[in-house]
Amino acid sequence: MIVSIAFVLVLVAVIFVFAQDQNVRRKRIVNGLMIANTGLFLLPLVYAYLASGGGNMWDENGPGVVLWVYMLLLPACGLLQFLLVVLKVVFHFMSKSKAQHEL
């Protein structure tokens, strides 16, 4: 379940990083926040994998205990990613309509 949600978060971030926006500064800030949010979400999973040393990364007596952080990260990062995607869509359509009015 966590892996599929992580995949969706990464996929959404990659897709919407390429959305057009006329304001370059705003685009860089929102893209940076999306990438940082995805990195923060994946950090406990990567840590558990790397710290397991070839053992069982899901073991709660070892590095797998860090995966309990997802009780906090999943709703927080999911909500933040959703808000950032909504902002990207709104900014995309605002830029598109502004460009049409300038013609």
**Residue 96: pLDDT above 70?**
yes
Q: What confidence tens digit (pLDDT) does each residue in 5-20 have? A: 767 777 877 787 787 7
For residue 9, give every residue at least 6 positions away whose Cβ sits within 8 Å of its Cβ, in sequence order, or none: 37, 38, 41, 77, 78, 81
**Residue 23 pLDDT:** 86
Structure-token pair, residue 3:
């892996």
Question: Interior CA angle at 11 toward 15 and 46, to 5°?
Answer: 135
The model carries a pTM of 0.76
pLDDT of residue 44: 92
Confidence at 2, pLDDT banded by 50, 70, 90: low
